[in-house]
Amino acid sequence: MSWQHVRISRFGGPEVLELAEESTIPNPGPGEVRIKVLAAGTGFTDSFIRRGRYPDFKGPLPFTPGYELVGVVEKAGSGVVAPREGQIVADLCVVGGYAQYAIRPARFLVPVPDGVDMAEAVCIPLAYLTAFQMLTRYRRLIPGETILVIGASGSVGTAMLDLARHFGLKAIGTCSATNFAAVERFGATAIDYRAGDFVASVRKLTESRLGGAGVDAAFDAIGGSHFDRSFACLAPGGTLIGYGSQTMAIGHESIIAAGLGLARLKLWGALSFLFRGRRALWYSITDRRLSHPEDFRADMAALFELLRNGAIHPVVTGREPLAAAKNVHARIDAGGLGGKIVLLPWPASQLVA
């Protein structure tokens, strides 16, 4: 039986995504499983990889993109004790998600509970886990404290606002004016970053804070010189978490400028006593999974429980077949999606209940 996946044979714009057909269904090796992919998340990080600018993946070419997937384990290779065949699992695969089948190492797969929507479930491994770990693993934020979310209308941004509401935090989010509704639906205050100086707006919004104006934590994936502005939004004792280099990814800043942004995070982290306790750090989901695999599993399980209980509400803005990948990437690159488009590799008629 033939099967489909999306292939990238050279780095570039959305046009490099092509639908490919394979004639043989692959078999898992030792320690691996074959997953029938039910949903694949799409997002800016896939676009970053497609452009060939993502630091942690440069090929080899050709490859199948897709940072995260949810699917059913169809076949387990030798030595695999868990997950069992028939189990629905989620994976932060970095590449390989835009496919009807994926061969994946069993060790990082996390069970997905029954009764959740597959498209919402695939928002968990990248966007929600990033948001959850940044909110819970570095600083104890207490209900009533205020966070600043840069890029609040995106996949990670909306996940962060959703979780902030769940944890009782106040949130301020920067986005384009057209995306105010995507931010305000979570009870957050939206600021149009294109309309003026968001630093002044944040300080004005927080001027009555006891102990000094500013936010208790800020989250920024724009990177480079933008980190300066987010750091300037912190209250005394506040924490900035940098987690992306979006302006470098789209070619608006050099790799050197992005590197200097990272260096500044390190400096602020090391010399926080010079900045009234304000500090900064870098977060990477893949680095943290390697260094703290037990946190990865525990946090994924906690998020799936929140999803099952209806405590969180991922924003799925589209459900598309694999053939739409090129168009989906064009929409990601244009910005303003207000959530995540999910690829559903199988037509409903080919899914056995």
Ligand X SMILES: NC(=O)c1ccc[n+]([C@@H]2O[C@H](COP(=O)([O-])OP(=O)(O)OC[C@H]3O[C@@H](n4cnc5c(N)ncnc54)[C@H](OP(=O)(O)O)[C@@H]3O)[C@@H](O)[C@H]2O)c1
Residue placing its CB nearer to ligand X in the complex, 142 or 256 = 256
Quote the least distance from Cβ 257 to ligand X, whole Å: 14
Structure tokens at 290: 């390697």
Pick one of 37, 106, 126, 147: the residue that binds ligand X (CB under 6 A).
126
Q: Which of 45, 64, 100, 206 binds ligand X (CB under 6 A)?
A: 45
d(CA 105, CA 127): 21
DSSP state of 188: P
Site size with ligand X, rule: CB under 6 A: 30
Q: Which residues are paired to 147 by β-bridges?
A: 171, 217
**Cβ closer to ligand X: 146 or 155?**
155
Cβ 148 to ligand X shortest distance, Å: 11
Min separation Cβ 230 and ligand X, Å:
10
Min dist. Cβ of residue 89 to ligand X (A): 20
Task: Report the residue number whose CB is nearest to ligand X.
Answer: 154
CA angle in degrees (0–180, nearest 5) for 46-50-51: 120
Give the bridge partners for 341, in sequence order: 318
Q: Closer CB to ligand X, residue 146 or residue 174? A: 174
> In the window 265-324, what residues touch ligand X (CB under 6 A)?
283-285
Per-residue exposure over 231-264, b if at least 16 CB sit within 10 Å of its own CB, e if not: bbbbbebbbbbbbbbbbbbeeebeeebbeebbeb
- The residue among 83, 67, 188, 69 whose CA lies nearest residue 121 is 69
Residue 314 main-chain phi, psi, to 5 deg: -60, 145
Structure-token pair, residue 339? 């959530």
Of 101, 186, 243, 268, the residue at the interface with ligand X (CB under 6 A) is 243
Binding of ligand X by 154 (CB under 6 A) = yes
Name residue, tokens 């004792």: 237
| Sequence letter at residue 175 | C
Chain positions 162 to 181 lying near ligand X, rule: CB under 6 A, are 174-176, 179
Tell me the CB-side half-sphere exposure of residue 338, using CA atoms within 13 A.
14
Q: Which of 3, 44, 219, 231 binds ligand X (CB under 6 A)?
A: 44
Cβ at position 130, least distance to ligand X in Å: 4
Q: Cβ 259 to ligand X, closest distance in Å? A: 15
What residue ranges bind ligand X (CB under 6 A)?
43-45, 48, 126, 130, 150-151, 153-157, 174-176, 179, 193, 221-222, 243-244, 246, 283-285, 332, 335-337
